[in-house]
Chain A
Amino acid sequence: MIYCIAILLIVLVSFPLQEFVPVFAWAFFSRLMLVHTVFYCAALTVPFPVMLGFALMTGFLWDARYHLPLQSEADATALTSAEIPFGFTIFTFALLGSIVQGVRPLFRKGRWELPVFLVGFSVGLGLLLEYVVINFNRGDFRLVPEFWWKILMTSLYSALISPFLLLWFALIARRFDYRLRVENPHRRHTYDGDAF
């Protein structure tokens, strides 16, 4: 439980830190999506209900900071007042967080390759979903090479930083006796990762 609170604090701290993350104009305005990366890494280490709670809080805060009320056609037939509705990030966090949770057993066995890849992939997929919604609202689908590069670079930054985050989370888990790995019979733990 203390571990989850510690991770929650890290997720919260990632918001102000995100403001300081530079945007790389040379890489098609891509940047490290720190909040997303922290969230997906956290999703690997916490039980499903906690992940849902994190998705709700993180998505809400993200939309509260970055939501733009832009609608391509300001008419009465529009379902929402914005192209990307407020709360959409909560949905993507919950959806992709659930996918990330799918490889949690692998992560708990100490295999980090696929989870790290999936963290990067989820960040890219989240961006792709946003772009698809925008295109859907504007009535046509346009794909340009820069778009793919932006998604690829953003995913790459997340995948590169996620092992360090996971390592940090593992240290925190050890500090609070929260069992991340299932293969360690010699160590006693107060909390099991699945027994929240």
Chain B
Amino acid sequence: MSRLNIILLIVFAALLIWITLFSPDQIARIQSGTMTFFRPFIKASDRADRGFESVNETPMTPSEMRSKIEELERDRGRLQLEVLQLDEILFENNQLREALQYRQRSPLRLRPARVMSRKPVNWYNTLVIDKGSADGVSVDSPVIVPVDEDGAGLIGKVSEVLGSHEAVVLLLTDEMCQVSARLENSQEQGILSGQRGSLRSLPPLKLRYLSKEAETRVGQRVVTSGTGGVFPPDLILGEVTSARVGVIDAEATVKPLVNFRELLDVFVVMRQEEAVPPPASDDQASEIPPGSASSAPDAAEPEAAP
């Protein structure tokens, strides 16, 4: 090896060491700057992906379209009725709160976000959303989607705020996203997370550290317990598909109820202490109707294993 190569190798090693010693703030600034450049490409790539998906859809026949229209009209009528009922419930609920002089508990504040990129990083299950620091999004903010009429389903938490309008969401299917969970209609609690190296479209989740006496049944829902402070309680996580009792504890396999492959619009749960910037007309942080998830997290501590 020539002398020049050796000198260059030493310079390279010195630069590499210097780079690895960057502080998290410096890295965040570098990534934010890089994201400014990549943002248009990420958006264009997502548009291209969606265009490709829509081309792949099978066209409907006229009779199928007719039945679809009828179905949608039926749904519209039902939804109009539900909206009226919900308005009544909301009004009644507010009156009851005042009447009973409940201690003022802040409802969840939601910020709608759109998925910019669904391509995961090599070994992490992530997606990128179009809300960032300018929108009040911060690390560990829970991200949810409406699952059905029962309420909201947790899809993960913000793991990194890339820039003013970009953030990375670590999905529930990743091993690093650990959620304090409980079996519905039960006090049994455990830690729910994905599995390492699980690279299927809808990988099963593991609910660990349940007590040996835990009564689990197939189809039983698993929801967030709210312990730990990161995730609000009663967000839907999935359904139990099987259970196994070990030597000192029990664990259950849980099928997620959110289709992670088809996420488009999601909601970031804003923490109460975060200063929410003045909302835009169609993009404002909205209050979730009481009943679906009642209390906001009160601290930003990570979920702790029991």
The listed residue (A49, A81, A131) touching B5 by CB distance below 8 A is A49
Give the residue name and chain of the A residue nearest to B32 (CB): A64
Whether A72 contacts B176 by the Cβ 8 Å rule is yes
Q: A192 near B: Cβ within 8 Å?
A: no
Number of A-B contacts (CB under 8 A): 115
Q: What are the residues of chain A within 8 A of B122 when measuring CB–CB?
A: 66, 127, 130
Name the distance in Å between A54's Cβ and chain B's nearest Cβ.
11
The listed residue (A15, A55, A138, A149) touching B196 by CB distance below 8 A is A138
Q: What are the residues of chain A within 8 A of B49 when measuring CB–CB?
A: 22
Q: B288 near A: Cβ within 8 Å?
A: no
Of the candidate stretches A1-9, A84-92, A166-174, A179-187, the one touching chain B is A84-92
Name the distance in Å between A129's Cβ and chain B's nearest Cβ.
11
Whether A19 contacts B38 by the Cβ 8 Å rule is yes
- Distance between Cα atoms of A85 and B18 in the complex (Å): 12
When A49-B5, A70-B159 are in contact, do A80 and B20 touch as well, CB less than 8 Å? Answer: yes
Whether B124 contacts A69 by the Cβ 8 Å rule is no
Q: What are the residues of chain B within 8 A of A25 when measuring CB–CB?
A: 201, 261
Q: What are the residues of chain A within 8 A of B20 when measuring CB–CB?
A: 80, 85-88
Contact-size category for A: 35 or more
- Distance between Cα atoms of A60 and B196 in the complex (Å): 26
- Distance between Cα atoms of A69 and B168 in the complex (Å): 10
Which of B12, B45, B117, B122: most chain A Cβ within 10 A?
A: B122
Q: Digit string of B150-164 for contact with A (CB within 8 Å is 1, else 0)?
A: 000000000110000
Q: B42 near A: Cβ within 8 Å?
A: yes
Name the distance in Å between B259's Cβ and chain A's nearest Cβ.
12
Whether A19 contacts B41 by the Cβ 8 Å rule is yes
Name the distance in Å between A153's Cβ and chain B's nearest Cβ.
10
Whether A56 contacts B24 by the Cβ 8 Å rule is no
- Distance between Cα atoms of A80 and B24 in the complex (Å): 9
Name the distance in Å between A141's Cβ and chain B's nearest Cβ.
9
Whether A31 contacts B119 by the Cβ 8 Å rule is yes
The listed residue (A15, A70, A143) touching B170 by CB distance below 8 A is A70
Name the distance in Å between A77's Cβ and chain B's nearest Cβ.
16
Q: A152 near B: Cβ within 8 Å?
A: no
Which residue numbers of A lie inside 8 Å of B, CB to CB? 15-16, 19-20, 22-23, 25, 28-29, 31, 48-49, 52, 55-56, 60-61, 64-70, 72, 74, 80-81, 85-88, 90-91, 94, 127, 130-131, 134-135, 138, 142-144, 146-147, 149-150
Can you show 18 pairs from A to B with CB atoms below 8 A apart?
A19-B45, A19-B117, A20-B44, A29-B120, A31-B119, A56-B12, A56-B15, A60-B19, A61-B34, A64-B30, A67-B27, A69-B160, A131-B123, A138-B175, A142-B195, A144-B197, A146-B198, A150-B199
* 10 smallest beta-carbon distances between A and B, as pairs: A28-B199, A64-B34, A87-B19, A87-B20, A146-B199, A147-B197, A19-B45, A16-B41, A144-B197, A19-B41
Which residue numbers of B lie inside 8 Å of A, CB to CB? 4-5, 8-9, 12, 15-16, 19-20, 22, 24, 27-28, 30-31, 33-35, 38, 41-42, 44-45, 48-49, 52, 117-124, 126, 159-160, 168, 170, 175-176, 195-201, 261, 302
Other than the known A19-B41, A65-B31, A144-B196, what 7 A-B pairs have Cβ atoms closer than 8 Å?
A16-B41, A19-B44, A20-B44, A23-B119, A28-B200, A68-B170, A94-B16
